[in-house]
């Protein structure tokens, strides 16, 4: 199962300006791609799932596979997807590594922010040593210290 963080910059992208069908196809591709950026979705499959004409989805797909001089990512001439050389019939999301690294960087910044907050609280004597007194991760297993529950600083 893949995961793709969709940030607010995507609403200002050239893909978003292409219209709702291109946006729908793009987000479906992003949701389906694996961690390495490959998807096996096809226009026919999406058309069937959405009960729309395959021609309508194919036109949107073609926009994503075509060069885009307005694209911020100039790799592959601004194309968003390209045929995979590795997996026959699959497509590769050109910006996969760029956004995967951006997301990792953002998580690292958040982890540093939390570590600094824990350090400050410890120095102030407000941290009891309970491992998750302040949320260290994004997982469902997180919990607040029963002794020092508090709201995150805004």
pLDDT classification of 152: cutoffs 50, 70, 90: very low
Q: What pLDDT does 130 receive?
A: 55
Domain boundaries, the chain: 8-94
Contacts of 67 (CB under 8 A, 6+ apart): 76, 77, 78, 79
Q: Which CATH number fits domain 8-94: 1.10.150, 3.30.70, 3.30.565, 1.10.10?
A: 1.10.10
Of 142, 140, 123, give the one whose Cα is nearest residue 131.
142
Query: What's the average model confidence in pLDDT over 38-53?
Result: 96
Segment 109-144, tens digit of pLDDT: 777 787 787 777 777 766 655 554 544 444 444 445
Q: What pLDDT does 40 receive?
A: 92
Do 128 and 149 form a contact (C-beta atoms < 8 A)?
A: no
Question: Could you tell me which residue, 96 or 144, shows the higher pLDDT?
Answer: 96
Q: Which helix (H) or strand (E) segment is 83 a member of?
A: strand 81-83
Segment 50-84, tens digit of pLDDT: 999 999 999 999 999 999 888 877 778 889 999 99
Segment 11-38, tens digit of pLDDT: 878 889 899 999 999 999 999 999 889 9
């Amino acid at each position: 199962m893949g995961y793709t963080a969709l940030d607010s910059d995507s609403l200002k992208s050239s893909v978003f300006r292409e219209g709702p069908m291109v946006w729908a196809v793009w987000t479906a591709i992003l949701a389906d791609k694996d961690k390495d950026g490959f998807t096996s979705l096809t226009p026919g499959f999406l058309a069937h799932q959405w009960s729309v004409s395959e021609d309508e989805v194919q036109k949107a797909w073609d926009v994503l596979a075509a060069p885009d001089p307005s694209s911020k990512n100039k790799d592959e001439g601004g194309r968003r997807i390209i045929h995979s050389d590795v997996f026959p019939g699959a497509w590769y999301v050109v910006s996969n590594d760029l956004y995967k690294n951006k997301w990792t960087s953002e998580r690292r910044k958040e982890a540093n922010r939390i570590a600094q907050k824990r350090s400050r609280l410890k120095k102030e004597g407000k941290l009891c040593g309970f491992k998750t007194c302040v949320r260290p991760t994004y997982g469902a297993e997180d919990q607040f210290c029963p002794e020092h529950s508090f709201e995150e600083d805004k």
